Amino acid sequence: MVPSLLFEIMIIVFLGIGSQWVAWRYRLPAIVVMSVTGLLIGPIFGLINPEQDFGPLYSPLISVAVAIILFEGSLNLSFRELRGIGKPVFRISTVGAFIAWILGSLTAHYIAGLSWAVSFVIGGLFIVTGPTVIMPLLRQSKLKARPAKVLKWEGIIVDPIGALLAVFAFEIITFMTADNPDPSQLLLFFAASLFAIILGWALGRGLGWMFETGHVPEFLKSSAVVVVVILCFTVADEIMHETGLLSVTAMGITLANMGISSISDMRHFKENISVLLTSTIFIMLTASLEMETILHIFSPNIIGYVLLMMFAVRPLSIFLSTIGTGLSFNEKALLGWIAPRGIVALTVSGYFATVLADAGYEGASILTTLTFALVFFTVLAHGFSIGWLAKKLNLSMEGNPGALIIGSNPFTVELAKSLTKANIPAIIVDASWEHLGLARKAGVPTFHGDMLSEQTEHHLDTIPYDYMLALTSGRSFNSLVCTTFLPEYGRTNVFKVSPYTQFDNGHSSGVVSKVGGRILFDKKFSLEDLNEKVESGFVVRQTTLTEQYNLESYKKDKDPSTVFLYLVKPSGQLKFFSEEMRTVPVSGDTIVSLTPPSKEKSKIQAKLDNNRNSNQ
């Protein structure tokens, strides 16, 4: 056991974030790594047991964390995203959820051997997927836009619905089995659910109005949001258990669709908080399990229940509910397979296991075991299979990392052409239709729009592009674009052309050189310099290094005016040259550079001389 509660908190947070890093470093499903880590330090080696050690604080901490995670997910649910997917999302969240509830309840009764009462409670609970498990899978799999959006919307909307279905089923069972049924209890449930939605909407509108009118200073906005989320969840949950999740979801969707100018800053803050909470809560939940619970999941009836839920209930609910929605068979097949359960299922089942057991319902004792079995097996199966299945069904954007280039000019057109030639996705974005004419004539993929516009965000599919290059003539605009997209792309994947000119001598008194992304290539090459080189005949050239022709040989052979652009690893990995990043080419790498025309002429002349000599 650990020496103190403080030390235990440190272990949980450290291992949670460490699990995320291991998953990122070795391209593993994060939820799988976190689950295994929690099992190792909890029931297997017995180092910690958060449920016992935290005592009465355990459940409230988990509940508040789930509320914040669900709110962060709903903060991304803009109704504009529903264009083209509104019908399938609505059907899956209503008809599909109902079918999954009924089929899941029948399976729990006839296969797992649970009583009808417990079966209908657990059947409602198990329709949930949720952002805690769906979001990490979407980040790793690079699904195409439509199936990714459907999974995201379903996970966030159905999360509170599943919890409410479980509560509703329990209220119905209590009403039907009571000696003196009281219809007011059912009315109270529906009234509490309606109140939760209204409360979330009102707090969202009120908070949004205060932000827009300047009643809350910038430095307090993120903190204010966290406090109001906790307030919203707590008030609703105290009135009726589990309606708090519905309330924070309503609040998040309200804020997401108000068009608040500072919503993106809050969203990035919430994403960071959500990653931290997801990591730590998963560790806490799995570490709190008993070894008896883990061993029990391998009993035949529980394994049979899990297999039917994965291979029959989920596919049937998806295929039946999406008839006539326009989804392709491949999309339905993917959606019918991907349904991992996560934190909400574990936390809510723990609550109902206690309530149902106290009420004397048969089968309540194995509720936690059944929940963990479904969570663990779906997390493993779906975590490791989503990428492979998406590729097989042609629903993956997986491939060489691409580059999104902002600004259409002679240099960016040549750069995009070279990337395309190297089998690397590239697209040029520009707000000027006239400027894009140069790229269109060269056959380069283009998008007409302002990169900072909300319309561009909703219409431009950015999934294939891991790098963003700001290469416009506006130095301030380049810095602003890089600063805006740094949280989304990462500090090492956002670049801008040098803001310096030949008169700056490498120094600038302005802020444009101090903010935004890293400087591309070399700070001595401004966009004007690069365009001038292209217009004077410089060409993009590829050179593959070998053991015989290494980097030193290449440097000796190159012209001093050559501009190193990027290199491509044999694996397809793309790396742009920058003075602010150490990029060392090795044997097998292909260096792409902007070479003076004299170099090309000498190469052509050398080839002609060789051909002439060989023919003599």
Domain extents in the chain: 67-271+297-340+349-392, 402-615
Identify any residues that bridge with 519 across adjacent strands, giving them in sequence order: 496
Residues 6+ apart with CB under 8 A from 389: 333, 334, 337, 338
* pLDDT at site 510: 47
Q: What are the tokens at 548? A: 């015989």
Do 25 and 289 form a contact (C-beta atoms < 8 A)?
Answer: no
CB 326 within 8 Å of CB 45 = no
Secondary-structure class of domain 67-271+297-340+349-392 per CATH: mainly alpha
Question: Rounded to whole angstroms, how far apart are CA atoms 490 and 28?
Answer: 19
- Residues 522, 160: Cα–Cα separation, whole Å: 52
For residue 280 the two structure tokens come to: 């730590």
CA-wise closest residue to 240 among 160, 343, 126, 130: 160
Q: Where are the beta strands (DSSP E) in 83-181?
A: none
10-residue block means of pLDDT along the chain (616 residues)? 84 90 76 83 89 86 80 71 73 89 91 85 81 67 78 77 75 72 77 90 91 83 87 90 81 81 62 76 82 81 90 93 88 88 71 73 76 83 83 75 86 87 85 86 86 68 79 83 76 80 49 62 83 85 81 77 82 78 76 76 55 58
Residue 513 has a pLDDT of 47
Residue 568 tokens read as 């491509």
CB within 8 Å of 598: residues ≥ 6 apart: 559
Q: How far apart are CA 422 and CA 401, in angstroms?
A: 11
The encoded tokens of residue 8 equal 């235990």
> What is the reported pLDDT for 201?
94
Residue 235's pLDDT is what?
Answer: 93
What pLDDT, on the 0 to 100 scale, is given for residue 609? 56
67-271+297-340+349-392 matches 402-615 in fold: no
Provide the terminal-to-terminal Cα distance of the chain, rounded to the nearest Å.
85
Residue 470: strand pairing partners: 406, 496
Residue 485 confidence (pLDDT): 78
Alpha-carbon span 445 to 422, nearest angstrom: 15
Task: Tell me the per-residue pLDDT of 270-287, one tens digit each, with 9 for 90 and over.
Answer: 667 777 887 888 788 888
> Which class for 210: exposed (0-12), middle (13-18), buried (19 or more C-beta within 10 A)?
middle
CATH top-level class of 402-615 = alpha beta
Contact in structure between 458 and 81 (CB atoms under 8 Å): yes
- How is residue 501 annotated by DSSP? -
Task: Please give the C-alpha separations between residue 507 and each of 396, 467, 481, 499, 502, in angstroms, as whole numbers.
Answer: 44, 26, 21, 10, 10
- What digits encode the pLDDT tens for the residues 426-481? 888 888 888 888 888 888 888 888 887 756 665 676 767 888 888 888 888 888 88
Residue 494, phi-psi category: left (phi > 0), alpha (psi -120 to 50), beta (remainder): beta
- Residue 407 carries which DSSP code? -
